[in-house]
């Protein structure tokens, strides 16, 4: 019987977890062996004790608990490592808040049977979200495609997906410290299928994302698979040449003092911007070469040799 592992990243989800647990079990199709892997991302509420209780009662419940909050990206990585340790044929990643409709799992499995290796969900109406959030979310996919050259990441794509063992293995080969999971799936390739669903509000609890948090996440995603810093320097170069061209057109001898001082100010800003970018790049290189663990597990009921 094929094994499907459902990975659920959880951060302070005590309100919604019982609802989720009830809903997800309705999707357990008897032709497969289902397992749930809850990844407690350093929750400060009762999330971990609720998960522990489930694990005591049901053998299909596995869990990993982090020593602190490492972020959803790390939780998804830990879940996929667990899926490999549990010798799964496929893994499903789903949010705990029921914003990713569990009923879609049935359709995902149908496409999995047809041979698709990566079936992901796309949210197709965002009207309940604020205008500004929708605008940035939509702009992101265009900007991402522009910088990385990957056109196979769909507008509105969410982390909810089913991936088969080949994709799990490929994903785990990517050792980047700063991770953008959707970007990694886009980069690894394989036959993809997109399923649409309507935006649903959270069943309970509240979002963990601030606007600034999302902004930083989007930037991380773009720079992980692009030469963003090089682009920025090229832009600085174009601005520099622009000033050079203006000098020639205006004839340097006719330049007024204020123009010269403005130019000086702009150049100082450009140089500082350039230095900041180099510093940022050096930190990225340092982070990767230090090879620190991406997350730390304080408790789990999965042993590495489980099959």
Question: Helix (H, G, I), strand (E, B), or coil: what is residue 175?
Answer: coil
Is 13 near ligand UDP (CB under 6 A)?
A: yes
User: What is the x/- site pattern for ligand UDP, positions 51-70, by CB under 6 A?
Assistant: ------------------x-
Taking the alpha carbons at both ends of the chain, their separation in whole angstroms is 13
Q: Are 158 and 229 in contact (CB under 8 A)?
A: no
Candidates 56, 63, 58; CA nearest to 41 is 63
Q: Are 71 and 36 in contact (CB under 8 A)?
A: no
Residue list 77-96, contact with ligand UDP (CB under 6 A):
95-96
CB of 75 to ligand UDP, least distance (A): 4
From 73, 97, 159, 164, residue interacting with Mg ion (rule: CB under 5 A): 97
Enter the tokens of residue 284: 């990225």
Backbone torsions φ then ψ of 100, nearest 5 degrees:
-100, 105
Which residue has tokens 């408790």? 299
Decide whether 13 or 164 has the Cβ nearer to ligand UDP. Answer: 13
From 99, 148, 224, 300, residue interacting with Mg ion (rule: CB under 5 A): 99
From 2, 165, 199, 208, residue interacting with ligand UDP (rule: CB under 6 A): 208
CB of 100 to ligand UDP, least distance (A): 8
How far apart CA 210 and CA 37 sit, in angstroms, is 26
Which residue has tokens 């991770």? 179
Which residue has tokens 């608990």? 65
Decide whether 69 or 154 has the Cβ nearer to ligand UDP. Answer: 69
| CA contacts within 13 A on the Cβ side of 245 | 6
Is 215 near ligand UDP (CB under 6 A)?
A: no
Decide whether 116 or 180 has the Cβ nearer to Mg ion. Answer: 180
CA dist list (Å): 249 to 237, 243, 244: 18, 10, 9
CB of 291 to ligand UDP, least distance (A): 22
Is 10 near ligand UDP (CB under 6 A)?
A: yes
CB of 47 to ligand UDP, least distance (A): 8
Candidates 307, 306, 255, 301; CA nearest to 54 is 301
Count of residues in contact with Mg ion, rule CB under 5 A: 2
Is 11 near ligand UDP (CB under 6 A)?
A: yes
Is 207 near ligand UDP (CB under 6 A)?
A: yes
Residues that bind ligand UDP (CB under 6 A): 9-11, 13, 41, 69, 71-72, 75, 95-97, 99, 207-209
Q: Which residues bind Mg ion (CB under 5 A)?
A: 97, 99
């Amino acid at each position: 019987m094929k094994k499907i592992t459902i990975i659920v990243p959880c951060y302070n989800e005590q309100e919604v977890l019982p609802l989720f647990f009830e809903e997800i079990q309705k999707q357990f199709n008897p032709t497969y062996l289902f397992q749930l892997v809850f990844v407690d991302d350093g929750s400060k509420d009762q999330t971990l004790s609720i998960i522990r209780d489930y694990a005591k009662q049901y053998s299909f419940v596995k869990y990993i608990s982090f020593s602190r909050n490492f972020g959803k990206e790390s939780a998804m990585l830990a879940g996929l490592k667990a899926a490999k340790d549990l010798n799964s044929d496929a893994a499903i990643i789903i949010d705990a808040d029921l914003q990713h409709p569990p009923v879609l799992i049935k359709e995902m499995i149908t496409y999995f049977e047809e041979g698709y290796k990566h079936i992901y969900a796309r949210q197709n109406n965002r009207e309940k979200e604020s205008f500004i959030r929708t605008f940035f979310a939509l702009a992101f996919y265009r900007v991402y495609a522009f910088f990385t050259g990957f056109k196979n990441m769909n507008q509105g794509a969410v982390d909810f997906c089913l991936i088969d063992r080949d994709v799990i293995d490929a994903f785990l080969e990517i050792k980047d410290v700063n991770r953008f999971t959707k970007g990694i799936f886009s980069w690894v390739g394989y036959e993809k299928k997109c399923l649409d669903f309507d935006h649903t509000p959270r069943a309970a609890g509240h979002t963990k994302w601030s606007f600034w948090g999302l902004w930083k996440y989007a930037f991380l995603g773009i720079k992980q698979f692009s030469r963003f810093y090089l682009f920025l320097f090229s832009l600085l170069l174009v601005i520099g040449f622009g000033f050079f061209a203006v000098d020639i057109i205006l004839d340097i001898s006719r330049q007024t003092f204020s123009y010269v001082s403005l130019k000086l100010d702009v150049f100082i800003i450009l140089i500082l911007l350039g230095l900041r970018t180099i510093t940022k790049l050096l930190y990225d290189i340092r982070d990767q070469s230090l090879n620190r663990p991406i997350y730390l597990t304080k408790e789990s009921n999965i042993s590495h040799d489980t099959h």
